[in-house]
Amino acid sequence: MLISSNKSWNLLAAFAGIFFTLAFAPFDQPYLAPISLCVLFGCWHKTTPKQAFLRGYLFGLGSFGIGVSWVYVSIHEFGGANPLSSGLMTCLFFGFWALFPALAGYISVSIRNGDQGLKAILVIPVIWQLIEYFRGNWMLDGFPWLQSAYSQLDTPLAGYIPILGACGTGFLVALTASTVVFIFQNKKHWPSLYLLLIALWIGGSFLKTVKWTHALGNPISVSLIQGNISQDQKWLPENKLKTLMLYKELTEANWNSSIIVWPETSIPAYLADVQEWFLRPLSKSAEQHKADLIVSLPTYNDLTKEKYNAVLTLGKDSALYQKIHLLPFGEYLPWQPLSGFILNKLGMKLGNFTPGKKNQVLLKAGGYSFKTSICYEDVFGALGIIGLPEAAYLVNVTNDGWFGHSIEPYQHLQMARMRALETGRFMLRTTNTGVTAVIGSEGKIIKQAPLFKTSVLNETIIPMGGMTPYAKLGDLPSLIVLPILFFAFAFKTH
């Protein structure tokens, strides 16, 4: 009977993980996040640390097994690995990340040790969020996909995002679930807990009405160009000129815009190869039309033999930004020489880039400085607030063409929305194949282009000034309070 009961709880944890994924884009059922965590935390009640580890792992398999299944597309269709190797690597990938909710379960049950007071409510969300933060910012240079807060951009809890960011807001999601579980598990009436939940969610609704930043000037017309060049065609030498002419023609048709943005590595050549005959005339045309053009391409240093993933502004203000936070296994190889040996055996050829220097001078377009991010740099909150308050808006150029017709482009767009809301600034997000979008300072999508369609997105943005509380302090408040609570619980005498 006990074995049967354990199997039922284990199965329930796995299904909770599946439903947790449905809280995120493109499924967009945000209330499933706290509900799924309620189920998971309930599965950890009156069990052993080892059993909690197993149920946390099953939750992670359900969640990451669906939520990051797009890794297969990248490895197989564009990385060149065979189906068997691609499937195995994909399973290893989400199996690895499933260890983190498992670890949260093991530590939580070990520390809680039957407590029924405040500790019983707080210990799980504290540990849950600390492990989410570690996974999202440190492990393999950070993998913040499917972190709780990203599902809450359209709920009352979004009101806390400009104050606490993704880390603090994720804690509130877990706190909601833990409090609900505590209420159901204890027969004693706890009116203060009901009031806590009501105040938490109503308070978030009120905070959504607060304007943390302000307009600096008049609206600026922008054009975002989505060339829709397939990843398997993009770097073929015979397609280079055709690609360049496509972007040039689409740009010339939109010289009436003040800012025109091309996506990540939209120029399939090194800067030195196209600077004189292509970029210099284009820059002069932009200046003549009183427009600023933002393009992206790789650069190569002949002296140091280093490659950089870069963004270049053309027109009145010409300057270069080099990507700081590189993509592991995509732009550099961690765990050398093991990772290089395995990928060579699989026949996968990946980039070997050098990170740019931190605190680079902000680029400028449309008369204002802006914060630049390339590819998945926009999924890191701490990186997104560097350069504020000088930056009046955000620009992200990316290439989600690596993931085909999967859910990844929508997840990535959702995470970009978080950066706009955290900073109180508009974001121009231009991608090769989608989803290109203009995001407002409140994190709402103003306009977006469809996937896999050549498009030009024309819109206006407002340059913003001022600082949200999160832009001022970042994750520091959360990283002070949560560890203090953790150590207080871990070393509390009984």
The residues that are catalytic are 264, 323, 375
- To the nearest 10°, report the CA torsion of 311, 315, 319, 321: -10
Specify which residues 313 forms β-bridges with: 294, 319
Q: Are 201 and 157 in contact (CB under 8 A)?
A: yes
Burial code (b: 16+ CB inside 10 Å, e: under 16) for 301-336 equals eeeeeebbbbbbbbbeebebbbbbbbbbbbbbbeee
Alpha-carbon gap, residue 195 to 97, rounded angstroms: 35
Q: Within 10 Å of residue 203's Cβ, how many Cβ atoms?
A: 15
**Among 274, 269, 263, CA closest to 236:** 269
Residues written for the chain: 494
**Contact yes or no for 126/171 (Cβ under 8 A):** yes
CB 63 within 8 A of CB 20: yes
Q: Which residue type, as a one-letter code, is found at position 30?
A: P
Q: Which of 493, 490, 470 is nearest to 482 (CA)?
A: 490
Kindly state the tokens that stand for 283.
Answer: 């820059």
Q: How many CA atoms lie within 13 A of 239 on its CB side?
A: 15
CA distance 114 to 107: 13
Task: Tell whether omega for the bond before 30 is within 30 degrees of 0, i.e. cis.
Answer: no
Burial of 102 (0-12, 13-18, 19+ CB in 10 A): buried
Contact present, 135 and 100 (Cβ < 8 Å): yes
Residue with tokens 């900073």: 423
